[in-house]
Structure 1
Amino acid sequence: MSAHEPAPSPSISLRALLPGVYLPTLLFEIGVGAMMPMIAVSTTSLGGSLSTAALMVSLLAVGKILADVPAGALAAKVGDRPAMVAASGLAVLALAGLALAPNLATLAVGVLLVGACEAVYGLARQSYLTAVIHPLRRARALSTLGGVARIGLFLGPFVGALVMAGSEEPSRSYWVGVVTSLAAAAVVVGVRDPAKNLAHAGPSAGARPAVLAVLREHRRVFLTLGVAVLGVSAVRGARNTVLPVWTESLGFDPSTTSLVFGLSGAIDMLLFYPAGKVMDRFGRLWVAIPSMAVMGVAMLVLPLTSTLVGVSVVAMVLGLGNGIGSGILMTLGADTAPPGQRAQFLGIWRLFADTGGAAGPLVVSAGAALGSLAAGIVAMGVLSAGVIGALGRWVPRWSVHANARTRREAGVER
């Protein structure tokens, strides 16, 4: 944090932000989680092939990538909380369009828009918490944000399945998203902002630099730590691909694949708060490096498994590694975001993260296309070793994390 930027009040606790930040996050992501499994179903019902369905699913990530930088500009212009409301409103329209889509073109536009809304919403939440939470609580706040989002995505398909009980009409899941997006916007508007007196919680004061100017000014950060972030995201993104494709290659049935994936996700969700507490107490590297090491080893071991027990154990280890790193990318972005340029900087930062998240599965797919799925998975394990080196070289050492006097003066618990 710059010496010229007043520290946010340490009296603003995570509990105070529960109704206005974490609850709408949960609601919004439940809607996204409910609609995600139905994208492929809607595509085939409208006459698309399986390859078209796979492409349609990928448009969600494409929408996020395309909107990351504009999301930063929007949050800087209107403020973080208004950006959340705007994203929720656009998501309502996009999800209604998906429910009523008469053709594949309309479906594609709707999926892209939902991805864009998720980018705006995510950027606004990250930027807001960066502004209002004391730096010594920052990792816990952001890892909790990531954990709540994961819980929402985990619950979404179950909520969608419940609503669709007795019907094969996928539009019902999209209407779930419409309702949850409306509810998220209503909560943000209706709940009092505990940080409303902090200038940093609203639009950036003074002149708002252009995104390209921010990129040029901080290009060294993006070309070093930003590249490390891209690598972390690639490894983590590959996790969502390697488990289902490897179980499919072993001939497991779909229900078994879902069970294996669910085990990994359950372990992942349990660790978000401990991960944040470790980061706040000891520093970012204590989480970043173990996360990549555990996931890298799991990626290297996965191609050696051939039984359900073996795959399940590796899946849980992958979930452990991913859970250990919960919130690390958002926290590093918050640590390095400059005062007065926070939203624009974080928009570029999230572009690196989302691009990496999309690239990881492509590496695995490329290996499979070239005739060796195992080689694609092992490549991600090898990449994790390089990422560990990059993190060790470029992650800032924040002395404040080990400074007991600073903690006492800030009134922040250990």
Structure 2
Amino acid sequence: MTTWTTLRPLLPTVFVPSAVFGIGQGAGSPVIALTARDLGASVGVAGVIVALVGLGAVLGDMPAGRVVARFGERRSIIAGSMIGTFGVLLSLLAWTPAVLALGALLTGVSNAVWGLARQSYLAEVVPVEMRARAMAAFALMWRLGFLIGPFAGALVILGVGTRGGFAVQLIGVVVSGYLMSRVPDPPRAGDAPAGGVSLATILRRHRRLLATLGTGSLLMGAARAAREAALPLWADHLGLEAASASLVFGIGAACDLLCSYPAGQLMDRYGRRFIAVPSLLIIAVSYFALPWSHNIWALGAVAVVMGIGNGFGNGVIMTLGADIAPPATRAEFRAAWRLTHDFGMFLGPLIAGAAATVVALGVAVSALGVVSVAGAAVMYRYIPRFTSAPRRSSPTSVRS
């Protein structure tokens, strides 16, 4: 039985909703800063409002584990979708930058609850020997949607204005939430504590793992997210027009998509370290090469390398989280695990922007390369300690 035949039951309930959700996110993300500027916010305040989506994800990770453990994946997805709907509505109707900021924050919280519930469901229903492929396919569909989203948003924006991107995002949140809310909750471990355990308990109980391999997760999140600040800043440094810069980024995103699913296959066959370490090293190479790109062609080459590195990293953190989560507190642990990565993703762009105001942009970008190498070293050291080689057995059908 082929992999896609085995995963087919998850197509309408997990993979398609992930793509729809990604379309909404891809349509809404580019217009947050533009809407903030239209409302009179300065460039700095607009940047902070954009960052609040990441902060909301970090804040949402904290209670998300207990929410999923207590109420199950299905009801958590419904709750996350309701929060997201309210957040996007606030952004769509925002009359001041403060209201837009609240909408961005709630959107991030929704993403955390929604994302944890989806990953938790996949980890429960997919056989371990196919786990990385399932996680990579999940990430692939989200990224495919995120790539399509800006184009769908642009068509609506042409008709109704800048906030048309939020309208597409609103539809994406509602439709994806409905599609995935139809799945039944997977069975719980018999020894799972009623009502779950607190995040503080999880952090204390697994402090050694989270302080070591979790540091690698944080560094990987920072390295991957910082590229969204580094590439635009360098394109601006070169004086590229927005259309040219967008073309370059689109090519990089396409390479990202092409590498996502093969990465999952390689992880299932050769282990998690086999992909996690090279992914970060490839990203490091792109950061070190970026200051040497002096025209659009060189920048395009760097974007391709960066896209390949990021694409091979798709699904790594989700797969590791599923591998190392203890059966009795899986949802709570995965929330703590997501917190390490999401905190890195929140810090990465902020560090890149802050460093560029203190030192030369080329130096700041090279520092991101050092962060990537450090992440690769931590992953190389600690992945074998906390994960085992993937089991080899004939795949079984997943539950729909």
TM-score, scaled to structure 1: 0.90
Partner of 1:21: 14
The residue type paired with residue 62 of structure 1 is: L
CA contact (8 A) 1:132 1:200 kept: no
Matched, 1:51 2:44: yes
Separation (CA, whole Å) in 2 of partners of 1:399 and 1:82: 32
Matched, 1:124 2:112: no
Aligned to 1:87: 80
Residue in structure 1 matched with residue 344 of structure 2 by the alignment: 356
1:145 alignment partner in structure 2: 138
Counterpart in 1 of 2:331?
343
Tell me, yes or no, if the aligned pair for 1:80 and 1:203 is still in contact at 8 Å: no
Which protein has the bigger helix share? 2
**Given the superposition, is the C-alpha separation of residues 411 and 58 from structure 1 closer, same or farther in structure 2, using an over 3 Å criterion?**
closer
Residue 34 of structure 2 corresponds to residue 41 of structure 1: yes
Runs (5+) with no aligned partner, structure 2: none
**Cα distance change of structure 1 residues 121 and 301 upon mapping to structure 2, 3 Å threshold:** same
Per the alignment, residue 173 of structure 1 pairs with: 165
Q: What is the aligned partner in structure 1 of residue 295 from structure 2?
A: 307
User: What secondary structure is seen at the aligned counterpart in 1 of 2:327?
Assistant: coil
Which stretch shows the higher mean deviation, 355-364 or 226-235? Answer: 355-364
Q: Do structure 1's residue 65 and structure 2's residue 58 form an aligned pair?
A: yes
Q: Which amino acid letter does the alignment assign opposite residue 104 of structure 1?
A: P
The aligned amino acid for 2:174 is L
* Alignment: residue pair count: 394
Q: What's the secondary structure of 2:384's corresponding residue?
A: coil
8 Å contact from structure 1 (residues 78, 203) kept in 2: no
Partner residue in 2 for 1:382: 370
- Are the counterparts in 1 of residues 66 and 195 from structure 2 also a CA contact under 8 Å? no
Say if 2:214 is the partner of 1:222: no
Q: Secondary structure at the match of 1:252?
A: coil
Q: Give 1:94 shift.
A: 1.6
Structure 1 counterpart of 2:265: 277
Question: Counterpart in 2 of 1:407?
Answer: 393
- Aligned-pair CA distance for 1:204: 5.2
Q: Deviations over 1:361-406 (max 9, x none)?
A: 22322331113111111111122222222111100365542x5xx4
Within 1, Cα distance between the matches of 2:190 and 2:39?
43
**TM-score, structure 2 as length reference:** 0.93
* 1:132-157 CA distance string (max 9 Å, x none): 11111110111111111111211111
Cα displacement (A) at 1:249 = 0.5
Q: CA separation of 1:11/1:253 partners in 2, compared to 1, >3 Å: closer, same or farther? A: closer
**Structure 2 counterparts to residues 177-192 of structure 1, below 5 A:** 177-190=169-182, 192=183
Percent identity at matched positions?
38
Match of 2:238 in 1: 250
Q: Which one of the candidate residues 355, 362, 368 is aligned to 2:356? A: 368
1:183 Cα offset (Å)? 1.2
For 2:340 and 2:389, the matched residues in 1 are separated by 27
Q: 1:267 aligns with which of 252, 255, 271?
A: 255
For 1:125 and 1:203, how far apart are their aligned partners in 2?
Answer: 22
| Contiguous gaps of at least 5 residues in structure 1 | 1-9
Q: Supply the RMSD in Å over aligned alpha carbons.
A: 2.1
Contact 1:68/1:120, CA 8 A, preserved across alignment: yes
- Which residue identity does 2:377 align to in structure 1? G
* Contact 2:223–2:372 (8 Å) recurs in 1: yes
Q: Distance in 1 between matches of 2:258 and 2:191?
A: 34
Report the alpha carbon displacement of residue 90 of structure 1 after superposing the two structures with TM.
Answer: 1.8
Residue type of the alignment partner of 2:31: M
Q: Distance in 2 between matches of 1:282 and 1:261?
A: 30
Q: Is the 8 A contact 1:79 1:202 kept in 2?
A: no
- TM-superposed deviation, 1:322: 0.6
Work out the CA distance in 2 between the residues paired with 1:343 and 1:24: 20
The offset of 1:202, in angstroms, is: 12
